[in-house]
Structure 1
């Protein structure tokens, strides 16, 4: 069964996903995200050192789509963000909707 997690204005995306995973007892799942946020922090790998993160923060209305997983009860999400003057993607560290919302579709899985 897929769970619909609604992330409202002012709620932090990853914290809300973590709370839902804890409340629902989900240890492993696939995640699909869609919505829009006002702030977001993401990272990408440094081209000369793939173990070094380049962290960037944005504060403007951004369309968000993403995919990820819950492993050992913890969400891990990668996103694409599109605004009026930019398109970026990477590992999500945090995001908050303001004028809109984000919906997460969380589908629990069992490991073989």
Structure 2
């Protein structure tokens, strides 16, 4: 992984074969002091795709019962990664295609780059956000 910052606050993250996508984005946030920002574009290929998604309209009280976890191997073409960084922590979603099916969901740790990845992060100076759980234990963005 290597990252580059422009004069106007954009950070480009280059992901190389074997890099972990989310972990590399988190590292770039630390290295470039990104507290609040937006991942505005992301593309690449994964050999391991690890996501979760909510598959119901009624949320059970137990967080573990809310999500479907997928860990998929193969050649996954990533068509988009985007989301918000609040308090230095990315909350990102991904869409990927393996030639037969398209899947999408919350980007989890362990997504390994197959060929390459490129991510653009936009710092949002003057805005300080964090996530706080609401009454249903859903993390909501709030001002800090």
CA distance in 2, matches of 1:7, 1:93: 16
Deviation at 1:48, TM superposition (A): 5.0
Does 2:81 match 1:66?
Answer: yes
1:83 aligns with: 98
Q: TM-score, normalised by structure 2?
A: 0.72
Aligned partners of 1:97 and 1:20: how far apart in 2? 16
1:33 counterpart SS class: strand
Greater radius of gyration (CA):
2
Q: Deviations over 1:84-108 (max 9, x none)?
A: 111000111131112x111110110
- CA positional deviation for 1:60: 0.7
Distance in 2 of aligned mates of 1:76 and 1:62: 20
Partner residue in 2 for 1:23: 31
Matched, 1:107 2:125: no
Size of the alignment, in residue pairs?
111
Q: Which runs of 4+ in 1 moved over 4 A?
A: none
C-alpha separation in 2, matches of 1:85 and 1:43: 19
User: What is the alpha-carbon distance in structure 1 between the residues aligned to residue 105 and residue 89 of structure 2?
Assistant: 18
3-state SS of 1:101 partner: strand
Match of 1:97 in 2: 113
Task: Output the CA distance in 2 between the equivalents of 1:85 and 1:49.
Answer: 30
Structure 2, gaps ≥5 residues long? 1-8, 129-144
TM-score (norm 1): 0.91
Deviations 1:50-82 (A, max 9, x none): 451110111010111111121100111101011
Aligned partner of residue 97 in structure 1, secondary structure:
strand
Unaligned segments of structure 1, at least 5 residues: none
